[in-house]
Amino acid sequence: MTTLVDAPARVDDLQLIGSMVGSGYRTPPALVRRGDGQTLQLTPLLYLVLDAVDGRRSCAEIADVVSHAMERRVSEEVVATLVEDHLRPLGLLKLDDGSEPELKRSNPLLALKLKFAVTDPRSTRRLTDPFRFLFRPALAAVVVAGFLAVTWWVFFRQGLAPAAYDAFQRPHLLLLVFVVTVLSAGFHEFGHAAAARYGGADPGVIGAGLYLVWPAFYTDVTDSYRLGRTGRIRTDLGGLYFNAIVVVLTFVWWSLSGWDALLLLVATQILQMVQQLLPLLRFDGYHLLADLTGVPDLYHRIRPTLAGLLPHRWSDPEARALKPWARGVITLWVLITVPMLVLMLAALVAAVPRMVGSAGGAIRQNASAVADAWQTGTFIDVTANGLQVLAVVLPLLACAIILGRLGLRSSRGLAQWSQGSLPKRVLAAALSAVVITSLSWAWWPHPGNYRPIGPDERGLITSLLPSAQSVPAARPAPLYAPASAAGGSAEERLGSGEPLEATFAEGAALPTKSDPQLAMVLVPAAEEPGDGSSDPEPDPDGSTEPWVFPFDKPLPPDEGDNQAAAYNTTDDSVRYDVAFALVWAEGDEVLNVNEAHAYASCSNCVTVAVAFQVVLIMDDAHVVVPQNLAVAANYDCYRCITAAIASQLVLSVEDTPGQEQLLALVEVWNQLTEFGQNITAYSLAEISTQLDEFKAEIVAILGEAPPVVPDSTSTSTSGSSSDGTSTEGTTEPSSGSSPTGSPAAPAPSPTEPAAEPSAEPATEPTTAPPSPEPSAEPSPEASTPSP
């Protein structure tokens, strides 16, 4: 039996908001707000009883007031029951002795923590009143149109690359962007408060707190529940509208200052707006959906909504509490949100080892940068690098907090659920063992499990599925690419990006795009003619060598270009590639390219590429930019000699050569062809000298000036390159004949025949500028011998 209470009293600072306008419930709830900020939903009867409580009326008098309001009789005993069993446990009424009760707030998993007020309600109204005019429809339409125009211009016309470049070139601008971004988050809250004031509600405090580990601002707009659905939606979107204002003002600021880095603010505002619109967490999108449906707390509807999907629960009062259209929207939201939250939790658990590995490397790197900046006394650099350290540490702390809270709540829930029942205890223990075992397996230091996240990784959700793991983590076997498995050579499959199975030694770190490792490629050897087999099909450039180098293969030459390409992966071999070309250039532009590429990955081998091109300009060309490129590179080479020689002659011819000149050119070209057929008999120095002599003869035939024999430069690098790194020689024209870089390597004396020509571009090209008068260009050479 309930004891009658004399004159119950409401707690201090209790706010009666009233019935929710535009509610999605069949029976609209009434809202009250306690002094601690907790908003509660009450049935109409409970709200009427609470509204009648004034600290002077007895339960009998309260019953009379409620009976008059409801137009039906409510007894004194019913009022006493509601007071003692419902209102007082909710912390809405004082205790019998007149003291304030101990309030218990709900503690959502992702709620804002450590909140503190920055402004009181009066200051909030004073600060936000000047911004109310921004919500006038005509002005709002102009701002939204400007926002859309600026966003389209930045992302589809201007681009963010100049802004990023400017920000990193001038760190103080990057710091400015960060500061303005933080301040814009506070300005976002002004938008919510100003929108509430525009609609007629009284906003409360504006404060700050921690959302997991990230600082966040908040605005108390509980009073907006007094407004209709339109007013509440305007309040929800007010913050995003103020973000749009920041975007427009940023464009004006950029127009006046010319600082490209400011355009990064457009990107930060768009990202903030997209994040706020997500309805999965308690951001603006969540509250927007709640106000659209008229259901204040969506998360509290997850359990009854899922239970209401069961056929035998369709008629339950809790399942039928919402209006049909609201129930449909909330059910759709639950069916999307619950799987997404589960998937996000699985992705979080799986990503912890990789995040730890990446954070460890980033912290070491940035901490060292902070220490160096501190020693040099550069405050901006210290701040920028310190922020980068925080950017790495905070996500790890957030993961720890989420998983820790979830684990603690789950263990408490299992303990309460299984209390007093042995079968439930056994089931709870088994479930706990499964979870602990799964986490141990996911976080165990398997080979490569804690490797940093690489730039080549895409981070797809499908990577969580076992079928997506096409690359075994650790098995002692070489990479095998059978040429007949997919209708093409191993080189074709490697170049096409087709996935190949790769296995590596137990405990070895897995390769990444930024840190590749050498692997073995097994290609079936060509069998002898007559045995019923055919030779391997060559690439379009004529090469049958597998491409094992850690860079892209050079592209084939365009029309009018000349290219010699020697690729060697065979031990104890000699490979030459020779390409000679004479081009009659006509038209307004002369852009001919002459290039030589020599790449070797072998032992005790010789690889030489020689490209010789003569470009005769017949017309008055306005753009003359020929290119002369030579690249030689060793990759995992031992006792190898690799050389690339590119020699180009660009000559402007005023008149068409006569018959005698053409015959003389044919004679010289025949000598050049014979020289190419016997080029293996010459040393590298002799090859360069001979090519210079041919150029001098051509100049003498076509030009009035005496033959010009130019100087040439070369660079060479000695080393075995046994660690798998590549060494590369390039050339640059110089005014003297002395070589640059390391001492020139001894010239090879090969005796084996040369290989057939093949082709492609360069990594660090050497260009020879054209001469407006008949002259010979310097002949670059690139050689990379290894002892």
The pLDDT tens digits of the residues spanning 733-742 come to: 222 222 223 3
What angle, rounded to 10 degrees, do the helices at 171-199 and 229-257 form? 150
Name the one residue in this structure whose structure tokens are 């060479």. 716
pLDDT band at 597 (very low <50, low <70, confident <90, very high): very high
Residue 749 has pLDDT above 80, yes or no: no
- Mean pLDDT in residue range 44-57: 88
The pLDDT of 58-85, averaged and rounded, is 87
Q: Are strands 30-33 and 606-617 parallel, antiparallel or unpaired?
A: unpaired
Which is more confident, 386 or 145? Answer: 145
pLDDT of 645 above 90: yes
Pick the closest to residue 578 from 567, 564, 557 (CA basis): 564
pLDDT at position 151: 92
- What token pair was written down for 639? 């006792």
pLDDT at 513: 59
Task: Give the model confidence (pLDDT) of 83-123 as tens digits.
Answer: 888 888 888 888 877 788 877 766 666 667 778 888 888 89
Spatial distance between the Cα atoms of 491 and 29, rounded to a whole number of angstroms: 70
Decide: 384 and 366 in contact? Cβ < 8 Å.
no
Measure the CA–CA gap between 722 and 602, rounded to whole angstroms.
10
- pLDDT at res. 225: 84
8 Å CB contact between 226 and 19? no
Average of per-residue pLDDT values in the chain: 75
| pLDDT one-digit tens code per residue, 215-232 | 788 888 888 888 888 898
Q: Residue 768 pLDDT more than 60?
A: no
Give the Cα separation of 528 and 514 in Å (integer). 41
SS3 state of residue 17:
strand
- Give 763's DSSP letter: S
pLDDT band for position 2 (50/70/90)? very low
In contact, 195 and 244? CB cutoff 8 Å: no
Q: Is residue 671 scored above 80 in pLDDT?
A: yes
pLDDT, mean of residues 612-617: 88
Q: What is the mean pLDDT of residues 43-52?
A: 88
DSSP 288-303: HHHHHHT-S-SGGGHH
Q: Is the pLDDT of residue 534 over 50?
A: no
Instruction: Please compute the mean of the pLDDT values over residues 459-485 and round it to a whole number.
Output: 44
Strand order in the sheet with 726-729: 562-568, 593-600, 627-635, 726-729
pLDDT of 193: 92
Q: What is the rounded CA–CA span in Å between residue 165 and residue 331?
A: 46
Compute the distance between CA of residue 33 and CA of residue 55 in angstroms, rounded to an integer: 18
> Would you state the pLDDT for residue 468?
44
Predicted local confidence at residue 512, as pLDDT: 64
pLDDT computed for residue 377 by the predictor: 63
Residues 412-450: pLDDT tens digits?
Answer: 888 888 888 888 888 988 998 998 898 888 888 877 777
Q: List pLDDT tens digits, range 275-316.
A: 888 887 778 888 888 888 888 888 888 888 888 888 887 777
538 falls in which pLDDT band (50, 70, 90)? low
Q: Is the pLDDT of residue 251 over 90?
A: yes
pLDDT band at residue 144 under the 50/70/90 scheme: very high
pTM of this structure: 0.54
Q: What is the pLDDT of residue 577?
A: 92
| pLDDT confidence bin for 492, thresholds 50/70/90 | very low
Report which secondary-structure segment, H or E, holds 633: strand 627-635
Q: At 502, is the pLDDT very low, low, confident or very high (cuts 50, 70, 90)? A: low
pLDDT band with cut points at 50, 70 and 90 for residue 767:
very low
* Stretch (H or E) spanning 114: strand 112-119
* Residue 470 pLDDT greater than 50, yes or no: no
Task: Please tell me what DSSP assigns to residue 547.
Answer: -
Q: How many whole angstroms separate alpha carbon 298 and alpha carbon 473?
A: 43
Q: Are 746 and 785 in contact (CB under 8 A)?
A: yes
* Nearest Cα to Cα of residue 578 among 612, 534, 551: 612
Band of residue 610 on the pLDDT scale cut at 50, 70, 90: very high
Query: For residue 197, is pLDDT > 60?
Result: yes
* 121 φ/ψ sector (left φ>0, alpha ψ -120 to 50, else beta): alpha
pLDDT in tens, 150-188: 999 988 888 888 888 887 777 788 888 888 888 888 899
Most confident of 457-466, 588-597, 706-715: 588-597
